[in-house]
Structure 1
Amino acid sequence: MDFSPTSNGCIRGIKCTADINGQCPAQLKAPGGCNNPCTVFKTDQYCCNSGSCGPTNFSKFFKDRCPDAYSYPKDDQTSTFTCPGGTNYRVVFCP
Structure 2
Amino acid sequence: MARIWARTNCAFDKSGRGWCQTGDCGGLLQCQGYGSPPNTLAEYALNQFGNKDFFDISLVDGFNVPMEFSPTSNGCTRGIKCAQDIKTQCPNELKAPGGCHNSCTVYKTDKYCCNSGRCGPTNLSKFFKDRCRDAYSYPKDDPTSSFTCPGGTNYKVVFCP
TM-score w.r.t. structure 2 length? 0.55
Structure 2 residue runs without a partner (length 5+): 1-66
Choose from 131, 153, 156 the match for 1:87: 153
CA distance in 2, matches of 1:30, 1:72: 18
CA distance in 2, matches of 1:35, 1:78: 21
Aligned-partner residue type, residue 71 of structure 1? S
CA distance in 1, matches of 2:154, 2:92: 37
Displacement, 1:34? Answer: 1.0
Q: Map Cα deviations across residues 22-48 of structure 1 (whole Å, 9 max, x no partner).
A: 111110111111111111101000010
Q: Map Cα deviations across residues 55-95 of structure 1 (whole Å, 9 max, x no partner).
A: 00111000000000111122252211122333211222122
Q: Number of aligned pairs?
A: 95
Larger radius of gyration: 2
Bigger helix share:
1
Secondary structure in 2 aligned to 1:61? helix
Identity %: 81
Structure 1 residue runs without a partner (length 5+): none
CA-atom RMSD in angstroms = 1.4
Aligned-partner residue type, residue 22 of structure 1? T
Bigger strand share:
2
